[in-house]
Each structure stands twice: as structure tokens, then as C-alpha cells.
Structure 1
């Protein structure tokens, strides 16, 4: 009898898990677009970024990547971590002059239909910032990362 009392809770829990966005099946259009663009990718894992966007995390050429596609299968962006030595001189010069004194915690190269950019997580004392610099050396974005690990947008 005690088990029957828990049945509604169990059913509700199962329905919530089954209907959650992460359990939705990746659309064929998205998978096809991904396979066309990244035919040599391995260890692909899909997740919903939001209601209109899918993200694939995968390996390619010994590096870990993520790529985002709209639900219609349109490629939106690709990101992967890089080493400081891989940063173009023009970008590095901007970083060094505009953010002197900051230490680089992480670097990602981002490619999108509008071009390439370099995302830096920088630290100086207790201050962490995220900086995006275009491939031509222009600072595109600077965002303070709060101490609780969240950015100014609460993410």
C-alpha cells in the first residue's frame, strides 16, 4: 500500500524527465548539417542549448570542439580551446595593450558566419573578465565575471 502512495510522484518524475529538452531527439536536419560540416568528428554528444538551438560536443583532430546549429540545421558557431601560441599576433597585441597585467586563464577560438574571434578568460587579482577580440584585433566584448562564477547576465 505504501508503494501505491508513491506511484503518482514516480509517474510525475518520469514524465518530467521524458519531456525535458535534453531528452528530445536531435532533428535529422541538424545531424545531417553537422555530418556534412564535420565528417571526421568522433565522440559526438548532442544537447539542446535552448528551444531553437542544438549543441554538439565532439572531438576532431585530437581537440575538443562544440558547434551550435539552429533547429533548421543552420550552422551558427564552432568553438574550441587553443594555446596562447596559436593566437594571431594582431590579436595578441590588442590583448597585451588593452589588458596589461591580466593573466590568461583560458582561450577559445570561435568561428561563425561573421568570421573568427578569440575569447579570453582573464584574471587580475580577484577580478575575472571575459574578453572577445576579432581576428583583426578589435575588442568586440568585455564582460566582468562575478565572484559567484556568474556573468552580468546571471549565467
Structure 2
């Protein structure tokens, strides 16, 4: 029985590695070129197919973990990286305290798109989880409940 378990585990690991390698090799050349142009100092990235029309690269820059999304045509869509709550500016903290006082901050990311730079928060109060997006001035751009099945897909 132990041998069967070991073989099964080895097979699963092999399949995961094969899938990862396949994703790395299937990234369209135009997407990799767009990534290299946008991030010329990044030498290594891990690629995943985000959807039928989108690719995501995960990489480190200045010791910070980033992700960047590109369309199949090589159009840059978004770059994100996590930040610590203590690194948020006072105006953003003030908005969170006034609008979401009873919520705990679970995750904070800075998201850059062609429309600008934004703070994205995942906040929680009891069993309620929300995604909140603020612009750099503290204006609330999005407030949405996070369903449990959405979380499992992330």
C-alpha cells in the first residue's frame, strides 16, 4: 500500500510540474516580449494562464513580489503587489477608519492599470468579507461582497 501511495504522489507531482512547464512554454511570444519591455530589469517570471484571453506573470522586483497581467495580444492590463497596512498613507487609513471601522484588513495591494494606481483591500467583519478599491486620494471606487466560492477560485 505504501508503494502505491508513493507512486500516486510521484505521479501527481509529475503532472503538476508538467502542467507548469507547459504553461511556461505556451506563453505567446508577443506576451513575453511585452513583459520584457514593461519590466526590462526582471530576468525571471513564472507564468500562468489566467483565463482564455489573459496571462499572469509572477516575479520579484526590489525584493517585492509582483504579478502582472497581459492579454493574449501582449497588451499590459495590470500590475499588483502587496503592501503592509502600516505603509498606507494617512488619508487612506482615515477613509478606512471612517467607512469600515468594524472591519479588519486582511490584504492590501497596490494595483496599477492604464486608468491609474489604486489601493485594493480585502476586509472582513465576522463572516462578511468585502473587496474595497480606493483611488490614491481615498475616494471609494468599489465596494463588493466576496462570496465564498469566489475566494476558493482565487
Shift of residue 149, structure 1, vs aligned partner: 4.7
What are the within-5 Å matches in structure 2 for residues 81-100 of structure 1? Answer: 81-100=82-101
Distance in structure 1 (CA, Å) of the matches to 2:117 and 2:88: 11
Greater Rg over alpha carbons, structure: 1
Backbone CA RMSD of aligned residues: 2.3
User: Which structure 1 segments of 5+ residues have no match?
Assistant: 1-16
Q: Which has the higher helix share?
A: 2
| 1:105 lines up with 2:123 in the alignment | no
- CA offsets, 1:111-132, max 9 Å, x none? 0011011111111122111111
Shift of residue 42, structure 1, vs aligned partner: 4.7
Distance in structure 2 (CA, Å) of the matches to 1:35 and 1:71: 15
Cross-structure match for 1:13: none
- Judge which range, 47-56 or 35-44, deviates more: 35-44
Shift of residue 41, structure 1, vs aligned partner: 2.2
Shift of residue 144, structure 1, vs aligned partner: 1.2
User: Which structure 2 segments of 5+ residues have no match?
Assistant: 1-17
Report the TM-score, using the length of structure 2 for normalisation.
0.77
Distance in structure 2 (CA, Å) of the matches to 1:115 and 1:87: 17
